[in-house]
Structure formats: C-alpha cells, structure tokens
C-alpha cells in the first residue's frame, strides 16, 4: 500500500513539473540585449530546448531583434530575415529543434557583436523504466533547470518501486 502511495506521489510530481520544463531565457541575463554582453559566453552558459523562449530586453529604438538565415547572419543582413522584433521586450518561442540565428538590426550593432546563434535541442521524454540522467556539470547554466531534476527524481523513485 505504501509503495502505491509513493508511486502516486512520484507521478504527481512528474506531471506537476512538466509545464515548468520550458524556460524563459533572458538574453544577456541581467544586462539584457546590449552591446556590453559577450553573447558567445552567454550561449555557452545556457541550454536551449524546444518550448523555451528567448526574452530580449532593451530600450525600444536602441536595438532590434532579427532572426536570420545562416547567410543573413554571416553578412549581418536583414534583407531576407525570417522575423524582426522591436518592442524592447520581445519573446521568441523556440518551437522546433535545430539552429537559430539572431542579431540586432540597428546601425552597426551586429558588426559590433550583438549577434548569436543557438542550437535548440529536442525535448527528451523519459519513460518510467528509463534511468535518471547523469548529474549536471559543477556549474549549472544560468537559465536554471529545476524541473528536469524533479522529473528525474520522480522517475527514479517510481523505478525503485518495481
């Protein structure tokens, strides 16, 4: 009886954590979308998963956000951009896996380093018989991912009951 109760609790934790798996990742962290940020370092410190959103915070009019093709990104050209935002609080959903390229389309921002590309990873669903993932590296990404750890703990707890 106790094992069934524990299983129910583990499954409840897993389902409660599922909506929290997606993260809002503020581009540039507390500096926002700004020329003072090392975007290569910012990208290296985060993990991008389908369902996450990139949040670009900046003073409207000072910058913009352009999503480009690889060629447009390499040339800092918005001539054939995929999308453009300019509200100062832009939220870009990462709805599919693969490469995405972004830069500021204002003035010489892109050439001065306001650009980055990310690899968006697919969502990995754990089955009840799956082993929990290996522990994260010693420095956790700034985006934070508490929900996957909770999900893994719930799966591990359920696996112990069988």
- The whole-number pLDDT of residue 21 equals 73
Does the pTM exceed 0.85? no
3-state helix, strand, coil split of the chain in percent (to 5) is 30, 25, 45
**Of 7-21, 57-71, 104-118, which gets the smallest average pLDDT?**
7-21
- The whole-number pLDDT of residue 41 equals 97
Output the six-digit token pair for 160. Answer: 């112990």
Output the six-digit token pair for 35. Answer: 């020329």
- Whether 43 shows a pLDDT value over 70: the answer reads yes
- Percent of the chain exceeding pLDDT 90 equals 62
Whole-angstrom Cα distance, residue 162 to residue 151? 17
Domains of the chain: 20-120 (2.60.40.420)
């Amino acid at each position: 009886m106790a094992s069934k109760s524990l299983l129910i609790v583990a499954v409840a934790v897993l389902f409660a954590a599922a909506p929290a798996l997606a993260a809002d990742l503020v581009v540039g962290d507390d500096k926002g979308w700004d020329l003072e940020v090392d975007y290569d370092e910012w990208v290296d410190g985060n993990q991008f998963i389908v369902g996450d959103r990139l949040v670009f915070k900046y003073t409207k009019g000072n910058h913009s956000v352009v999503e480009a093709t690889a060629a447009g990104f390499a040339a800092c050209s918005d001539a054939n951009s995929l999308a453009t935002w300019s509200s100062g609080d832009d939220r870009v959903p990462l709805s599919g896996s693969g490469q995405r390229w972004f830069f500021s389309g204002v003035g010489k921002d892109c050439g001065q380093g306001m650009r980055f590309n990310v690899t968006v990873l697919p969502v990995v669903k754990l089955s009840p018989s799956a082993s929990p993932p290996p522990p994260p590296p010693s420095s956790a990404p700034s985006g934070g991912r508490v929900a996957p750890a909770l999900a893994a703990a719930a799966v591990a707890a359920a696996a112990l009951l069988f």
